[in-house]
Amino acid sequence: MLFDNAKGQSRKLSHRQLPPPAPVLPKMEGFLPTRANATKKYKHSLIAEVNEAINQGINTTSPISVGVSKYNPAVVNEVISLLTTAGWDVTGINIDGSYSTIILS
C-alpha cells in the first residue's frame, strides 16, 4: 500500500487555535443612523432653515434670502424643486458651481 514503507512516529497535524466568536450585538433599531436616515435629517435641517426664514420674512415686501453654502448641492437642488412645486419663485446664486444663497419671492 501507499504507507507500507513509512517509518517513524506518526505526526499529528497541529490544530491552529481559532479566535473566539465575535459577540452578537443586540438589535438597536432606530439608534444607529443609516445613510438614508442621515440624508433625510440633513435635508430636513435645510427645510427647517428655509421655513424659519420664510416665517421671519413673511410680512415683508423684500425677497427672502437663505444661506445654503454649507449644504450639499444635490440636497439644495431637491429643496429648490420642492419650493418651486409649492409655488415659490426661487433664484439660486451660484459661486464656484455650488449654491451659496437661495432667494425666495
According to the model, what pLDDT value does residue 9 have? Answer: 61
Beta carbons within 8 Å of 89's beta carbon, 6+ residues apart:
104, 105
According to the model, what pLDDT value does residue 15 have? Answer: 62
Q: Which residue has the cell 451659496?
A: 100
Neighbouring CB atoms inside 10 A of 4's CB total 5
Burial label for 79, CB within 10 Å (0-12, 13-18, 19+), is buried
Burial string for 22-44 (b: 16+ CB within 10 Å, else e) reads eeeeeeeeeeeeeeeeeeeeebe
* pLDDT one-digit tens code per residue, 2-60: 555 556 565 555 566 666 776 665 665 556 567 777 788 888 898 899 899 888 887 88
What pTM did the predictor assign? 0.62
Q: Please answer whether residues 49 and 57 qualify as being in contact, where contact means their C-beta atoms are separated by less than 8 angstroms.
A: no
pLDDT, greater one: 105 or 37: 105
According to the model, what pLDDT value does residue 43 have? Answer: 87
Domain positions in the chain: 61-105
Neighbouring CB atoms inside 10 A of 86's CB total 8
* pLDDT one-digit tens code per residue, 75-98: 888 888 998 999 989 888 877 777
According to the model, what pLDDT value does residue 3 have? Answer: 55
According to the model, what pLDDT value does residue 73 have? Answer: 85
